[in-house]
Amino acid sequence: MILTEKSVGIKDVARHAGVSISTVSNVLNGTRPVSLALTKRVMKAVKELNYETNLVGRQLKTGKSQQIAVVIPSITSIFFPNLLKSIQVAADKEDYTVSIFNTKGDINQERRVINLLRSRNYDGVMLSSCADVDQIETAEYLDFLHAINFSSQPMHIICLEAAISPKLDAVVVNDLEGTMKATNYLIESGRRNIAHIAAPNQYMMGKNRRSGFISSLLLKGLSVDDHLIVEGRYTCESGYEAMKQLLNTGRTIDAVVAGNDQMAIGAINYLKQQQIRIPEDIAVVGFNDNTPASLISPSLTTIHIPKEEMGAQAFELFMRRVNNDQSARMMICLEGELIIRNSTDPSVKAEWDMNW
């Protein structure tokens, strides 16, 4: 069968080489290592089907590169794998290749990455930004993003996790309500002296989760003790150090709400080292429901975030813009679900999450 230039796609290359679409994508974009044998098969299929020529021709005709990027603050964060997987699955169906870029939580690096993607004609960016919206200089950065997103040949920007601009499409989590659910649950369980290991205030998620914790206390008629709010860095180590700092205040603590699971796990580690019983003495709640939450001992009560849905919805918003949808900016807000495990209730039978 002779395939015309118009008919050749990444699916054809994958079928011809006898590999998956993601393998073809990884070979052509260098996004993940692929064995030499598979690389040779893919490149042989590319040559035989004249796929590279087809890609160039398609870009010249449509002005699209069929490339998108996902820009995140940490490629080692356990939060992102399922989200990235869902974006990859959606992108494969539309013959888009996906690249991943790490900003290390540095706004200057984030801007350099966006500039690089623009220069390489990426069609879109799924952006989990580290921009602090409370800083004056962030306004200039947002103008920069708006100029890219609304140009005559736009690179469509879809915000992940946080809506940093009212002009950019976004898929976010209701962080405030999620933290209120966690805090209200502890209060309704009889806890009254609740501490908060806060997510970094640089990020919109951190601001909203801290606000949710404080709002819950006030609405339930409890006072807010600033000594019982310690900011972490999203890491287990910072959760460990924050828990140590909280106990050193000498204040009575019977529960802790952490801004993410990693910090909650670090807190649990310190409490266990101090032979403090969990949850009998101090109950602990996390946020995100990452895989380790169900595997540690005691298993972690947390707020489950639908990461796969976030990725799928973000790609759908991107395709809306690619298809020349000129409607008003859209923000999709996903709700978190409270998952009760043994770090707050020892009687619960907590199942291991084996989906990883």
pLDDT tens sequence across 260-305: 999 999 999 999 999 999 999 999 999 999 989 999 999 999 999 9
pLDDT score, position 180: 98
Judged against a pLDDT cut of 60, whether residue 2 lies above it is answered with no
pLDDT score, position 273: 97
Pair (47, 136) in one structural domain = no
Residue 340 falls inside a structural domain: no
Q: What is the mean pLDDT of residues 122-143?
A: 94
Pair (312, 298) in one structural domain = no
Residue 269 falls inside a structural domain: yes
Pair (300, 184) in one structural domain = yes
- What's the count of helices (H) and strands (E) in the chain, helices before strands? 12, 12
Residue 133 falls inside a structural domain: yes
Residue 71 amino acid letter: V
Residue 347 falls inside a structural domain: no
Spatial CA neighbour of 161 closest among 120, 200, 117, 217: 200
pLDDT score, position 6: 52
Residue ending a domain, choose from 63, 90, 114: 63
pLDDT score, position 191: 97
Q: Which domain covers residue 200, as residue numbers?
A: 175-305
pLDDT score, position 61: 54
Q: What is the mean pLDDT of residues 139-150?
A: 94
pTM, rounded to two decimals? 0.80
Q: What is the mean pLDDT of residues 81-104?
A: 95
Spatial CA neighbour of 331 closest among 213, 207, 204: 204
pLDDT score, position 164: 94
Higher pLDDT, 160 or 354: 160
Spatial CA neighbour of 145 closest among 160, 132, 162, 164: 164
Confidence of residue 59 (pLDDT cuts 50, 70, 90): low
As for how many domains the chain has, the answer is 3
Judged against a pLDDT cut of 50, whether residue 150 lies above it is answered with yes
Task: Write out pLDDT tens, residues 158-200.
Answer: 999 999 999 999 999 999 999 999 999 999 999 999 999 999 9
